[in-house]
Amino acid sequence: MTKKQNSYPPTNEEATILEYFRKSITQKSLYHSYLFVGADSRLLENLVQHISQSLLCLQGAGAPCQSCQACRKVKERIHPDVWISPSILENKPLNISEVRDVIGEASLKPWEGNYKVFFLPHAHRMANEASHALLKTLEEPPKHSIFLLTTETTNSILPTILSRCQVFQVGSLGNQETERILIEEDKLSPSEAAVISRLSEGNISLAREIHQELWEARPRLLEILCQEKDPLALGEALHQFCGNKKGRKSSKEKAKALLTHLSSLVRDILFIQSHVPAEKLINQDYLDSLQKVARLHSPKRIESFLDFLLEAQHMVDCNVTISLIWENVSMYLSSDTLR
Q: For 246, left (φ over 0), alpha (ψ -120 to 50), or beta?
A: beta
CATH architecture, domain defined by 12-169 = 3-Layer(aba) Sandwich (3.40)
3-state secondary structure 24-80: HHHCCCCCCEEEEECCCHHHHHHHHHHHHHHHHCCCCCCCCCCCCHHHHHHHHCCCC
Exposed e or buried b per residue across 77-98, where buried means at least 16 C-beta atoms within 10 angstroms of its C-beta: bebebbbbbebbeeebbbbbeb
**For residues 122 and 251, which has the higher predicted lDDT (pLDDT)?**
122
Model pLDDT, residue 23: 92
Q: Is the pLDDT of residue 218 over 60?
A: yes
Report the CATH number of the 212-332 domain.
1.20.272.10
Q: What is the pTM of this model?
A: 0.64
Domain boundaries, the chain: 12-169, 212-332
State how far the Cα of 266 lies from the Cα of 332, in Å rounded to an integer: 14
What is the distance between the terminal CA atoms of the chain, rounded to a whole angstrom? Answer: 45
Which residue spans within 113-223 are E strands per DSSP?
116-120, 145-151, 166-169
State how far the Cα of 31 lies from the Cα of 24, in Å rounded to an integer: 9
Model pLDDT, residue 141: 92
| Confidence label for 61 from pLDDT (cuts 50, 70 and 90) | confident
Taking only the tens place, the pLDDT of each residue in 90-136 is 667 788 898 999 999 999 999 999 999 999 988 888 877 888 899 98
